[in-house]
């Protein structure tokens, strides 16, 4: 039927298909976007309009009282700062150690290059739940840290310290793998030239190759920031001190303790999403490149 | 000759220096923990005092642990529904938004946005959407005269709610992976199929789907591994309730290990879960291989 219509009036069939596309695409996209819109609207509504039946879409007046309520009941600003610090540290360490190792695996000759790299890759398959408990043990009993003696007992090690989050994630295997794949695409003759001119290996890495990886570093940086900012279970395990809580922990505690304060809850959730959203708006193309990479090479 | 060997030796030494931070961290926070997890699962370690070897006692205990098997049933139910649904919806959205048209980038962005949210923030927003009286979803159903359920506090809809929320968060990134996969399908395949008179459905069945097999394999593997380790959303949305209907193995291991401090026992549970993840991944691998021979 459709075939016959479009064979008589080719333009008509195409217009119909375009119309269907836009209707379907609009409905799907709106369904995906609606939760954002709804939480923004809720966070700006006075309380009596939040609890209205049937739904009241637009607020009669815009109020920021829920934002101030959220920030005054819970030290959200402090949590925000903690999360920001942890995420940035994660980015810096992963960019540095990841590219240093990735460069070595991609560009330098050494006997154990392939075997070590294979072991790292294979270990990526180990589910996080297996290492969760013993990692806690290792951090608690790390010698000479947090009141521990040489045998790792006496104190509480790195538990309750930001290092308990920074150190285990400082050189993720994904970062090493990602950077290695990028360094492989760069030519090696620049290295030979620089060696003849007498440049040291670290200098060659830092001055010649690293500047060429800026797009890869941006992609990896965004990925690492997002992972660090959004992580929840591990910080909840190792950080007990309320002053060291992250924004995700703060948000969870808030929504658990104030189960009917939906206005402040939405305000808190939006604040917790905001940094990633800003990053996305500024650096959109690097986000998509990162996922496409994991899709093609993964 | 001698000079070049010396140079290579120097290069190798520098290489080991370069990878040493990564290797050190890997040894301390991956290698040691993996072996320790295995050891701990045969002990009664409880953080405070004991760490005695108790042989297979933990494993014997978990065979009769009804709660553990319930969490496994929950997460299997979740995985069996979530993973195929995830593949299907992500692929459909990718197919819809694959062609370059005016405004298609805006649609892609809108579909991608949910993946940016943290699990906690997403769950918090959905707590409100799924509110039985004033929530958006039941309000919507109300337009059609349907009285929606109390999504998160009924045993029959709680897991469906968790699936809904995680699906909302997962579609975007898988859509991008599928879009990248679709770009890789060569155009001439479609053109020759069109010449042979294949309709759109046949072109999908015999060109697109087989060509996307590596992509589907990647998406399914990642979502199986993620699904079996579900925690964040179940923790925030329902606290594992009602009546443990949404409690997952990771949730139980977390409680067992860090609230009740039975770390030895929790380690043995973690190994059983790891085994389940391995089995599911292998089955998935077999399935995508099996399809290869048919097509």
Show me where the domains of chain A are located: 2-50, 65-297
Interface of A with B in 111-140 (CB under 8 A): 111, 113, 116, 120, 123, 126-138
- For residue A2, the model assigns a pLDDT of 45
User: Which residue is closest to A17 within chain B, CA to CA?
Assistant: B96
Residue A174's nearest CA partner among A241, A97, A110, A236 is: A97
Q: Once rounded to an integer, what is the mean pLDDT over residues B160-177? A: 95
- For residue A298, the model assigns a pLDDT of 38
- A199 phi and psi, to 5 degrees? -75, 145
User: Which residue is closest to A48 within chain B, CA to CA?
Assistant: B134
The answer to whether the CB atoms of A131 and B18 lie below 8 A apart is no
Structure tokens of B84? Answer: 């195929």
Domain that holds residue B91: 64-294
The answer to whether the CB atoms of A52 and B134 lie below 8 A apart is yes
- For residue B7, the model assigns a pLDDT of 67
Structure tokens of A102? Answer: 């990735």
Query: Using CB atoms, which residue from A33, A255, A291 is nearest to B127?
Result: A255
Residues whose CB is less than 8 angstroms from the CB of residue A242 and which lie 6 or more positions away in sequence, other chains included: none
Task: For residue B116, give the DSSP letter.
Answer: G
Among A283-287, B210-214, B225-229, B283-287, top mean pLDDT goes to: B225-229
Q: Which residues of A touch B45 (CB under 8 A)?
A: 137
Residue A63's nearest CA partner among A74, A77, A49 is: A49
A vs B, Cβ pairs < 8 A, gives 271
- For residue A7, the model assigns a pLDDT of 52
Interface of B with A in 188-207 (CB under 8 A): none
- For residue A47, the model assigns a pLDDT of 87
Give domain status of residue B284, yes or no.
yes
- For residue A291, the model assigns a pLDDT of 67
Interface of A with B in 47-66 (CB under 8 A): 50-55
Give domain status of residue B191, yes or no.
yes
Structure tokens of B228? Answer: 């079996």
- B53 phi and psi, to 5 degrees? -70, 120
Residues whose CB is less than 8 angstroms from the CB of residue B203 and which lie 6 or more positions away in sequence, other chains included: B190, B193, B194
pLDDT digits (tens, 9 = 90+) for B103-132: 899 999 999 999 999 999 999 999 999 999
A199: closest CA of chain B, how far (Å): 12
Query: Using CB atoms, which residue from A126, A248, A273 is nearest to B116?
Result: A273
Q: Which residues of B touch A101 (CB under 8 A)?
A: 18-19, 21-22
Cα-based torsion angle of the residue sequence A158, A159, A164, A168 in order, rounded to the nearest 10 degrees? 90
Give domain status of residue B109, yes or no.
yes
What is the Cα Rg of chain A in Å?
26
Cite the beta strand spans of chain A per DSSP E. Answer: none
Is A269 near chain B, with CB under 8 Å?
yes
Q: Which residues of B touch A104 (CB under 8 A)?
A: 14-15, 18-19
- For residue B1, the model assigns a pLDDT of 46
- For residue B9, the model assigns a pLDDT of 83
Number of domains in chain B: 1
Residue B16's nearest CA partner among A175, A112, A200 is: A112
CATH number reported for the structural domain that contains residue B93 in this entry: 1.10.3720.10
Structure tokens of B173? Answer: 């990134």
Residue B95's nearest CA partner among B239, B257, B10, B211 is: B211
Class of domain A65-297: mainly alpha
Give domain status of residue B151, yes or no.
yes
The answer to whether the CB atoms of B37 and A292 lie below 8 A apart is no
- For residue A57, the model assigns a pLDDT of 85
User: Which residue is closest to A126 within chain B, CA to CA?
Assistant: B274
Count of C-beta atoms within a 10 Å radius of residue A109: 11
Q: How many CA atoms lie within 13 A of B171 on its CB side?
A: 27
CA A261-A267-A271 angle, 5° bins: 145
Pairwise CA distance, residues B266 & A97, whole Å? 33
pLDDT in tens for each of the 298 residues of chain A? 444 444 556 678 888 989 999 999 999 999 999 999 999 999 999 988 888 877 888 888 889 999 999 899 889 999 999 999 999 999 999 999 999 999 999 999 999 999 999 999 999 889 999 999 999 999 998 888 877 888 777 778 899 999 999 999 999 999 999 999 999 999 988 888 898 888 889 999 999 999 999 989 999 999 999 999 999 999 999 999 999 999 999 999 999 998 889 999 999 999 999 999 999 988 887 877 766 665 544 3
The answer to whether the CB atoms of A255 and B266 lie below 8 A apart is no
pTM: 0.90
The ipTM of this complex is 0.89
Pairwise CA distance, residues B93 & B166, whole Å? 16
């Amino acid at each position: 039927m459709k075939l016959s219509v479009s064979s008589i009036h080719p333009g008509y069939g195409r217009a119909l298909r375009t119309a269907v596309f836009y209707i379907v695409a609009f409905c799907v996209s709106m369904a995906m976007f609606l939760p954002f819109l709804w939480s923004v609207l809720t966070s700006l509504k006075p309380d009596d309009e939040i609890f209205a039946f049937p739904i009241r879409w637009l607020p009669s007046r815009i109020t920021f009282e829920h934002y101030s309520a959220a920030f005054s009941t819970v030290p959200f600003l402090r949590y925000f700062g903690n999360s920001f610090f942890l995420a940035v540290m994660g980015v810096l360490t992963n960019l540095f150690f990841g590219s240093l190792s990735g460069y070595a695996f991609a560009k330098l000759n050494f006997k154990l290059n392939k075997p070590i790299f294979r072991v790292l890759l294979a270990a990526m398959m180990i589910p996080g739940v297996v290492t969760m408990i013993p990692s806690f043990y290792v951090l608690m009993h790390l010698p000479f840290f947090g009141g521990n003696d040489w045998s790792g007992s006496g104190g509480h090690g790195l538990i309750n310290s930001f290092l308990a989050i920074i150190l285990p994630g400082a050189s993720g295997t994904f970062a090493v793998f990602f950077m290695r794949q990028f360094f492989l695409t760069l030519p090696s003759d620049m290295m030979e030239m620089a060696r003849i001119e007498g440049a040291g290996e670290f200098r060659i890495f830092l001055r010649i190759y690293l500047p060429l990886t800026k797009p890869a570093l941006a992609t990896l940086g965004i990925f690492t920031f997002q992972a660090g900012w959004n992580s929840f279970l591990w910080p909840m395990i190792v950080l007990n001190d309320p002053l060291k809580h992250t924004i995700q922990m703060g948000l969870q505690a808030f929504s658990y303790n104030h189960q009917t304060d939906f206005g402040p809850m939405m305000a808190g959730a939006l604040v917790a999403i905001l940094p990633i959203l800003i990053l996305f708006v500024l650096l959109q193309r690097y986000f998509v490149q990162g996922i496409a990479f994991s899709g093609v090479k993964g | 000759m001698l000079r070049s060997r010396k140079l290579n030796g120097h290069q190798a030494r520098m290489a080991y220096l370069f990878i040493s931070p990564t290797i050190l961290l890997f040894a301390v926070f991956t290698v040691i923990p993996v072996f320790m997890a295995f050891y701990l699962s045969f002990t009664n370690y409880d953080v405070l005092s004991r760490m005695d070897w108790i042989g297979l006692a933990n494993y014997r205990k978990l065979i009769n642990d009804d709660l553990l098997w319930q969490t496994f049933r929950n997460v299997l139910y979740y995985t069996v529904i979530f993973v195929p649904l995830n593949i299907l919806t992500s692929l459909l959205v990718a197919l819809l938004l694959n062609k370059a048209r005016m405004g298609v980038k805006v649609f892609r962005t809108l579909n991608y946005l949910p993946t940016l949210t943290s699990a906690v923030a997403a769950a918090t927003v959905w707590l409100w959407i799924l509110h039985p009286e004033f929530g958006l979803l039941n309000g919507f159903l109300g337009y059609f005269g349907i009285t929606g359920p109390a999504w998160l506090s009924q045993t029959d809809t709680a897991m469906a709610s968790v699936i809904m929320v995680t699906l909302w968060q997962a579609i975007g990134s898988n859509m991008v992976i599928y879009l990248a996969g679709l770009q890789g399908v060569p155009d001439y395949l479609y053109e020759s199929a069109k010449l042979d008179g294949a309709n759109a459905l046949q072109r999908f069945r015999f060109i697109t789907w087989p060509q996307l097999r590596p992509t589907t394999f990647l998406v399914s593997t990642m979502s199986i591994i993620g699904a079996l380790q579900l925690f964040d959303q179940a923790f925030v949305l329902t606290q594992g309730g009602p009546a443990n209907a949404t409690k997952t193995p990771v949730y139980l291991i977390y409680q067992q290990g860090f609230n009740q401090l039975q770390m030895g026992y929790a380690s043995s549970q973690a190994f059983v879960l790891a085994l389940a993840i391995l089995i599911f991944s292998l089955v998935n691998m077999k399935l995508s291989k099996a399809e290869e021979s048919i097509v």
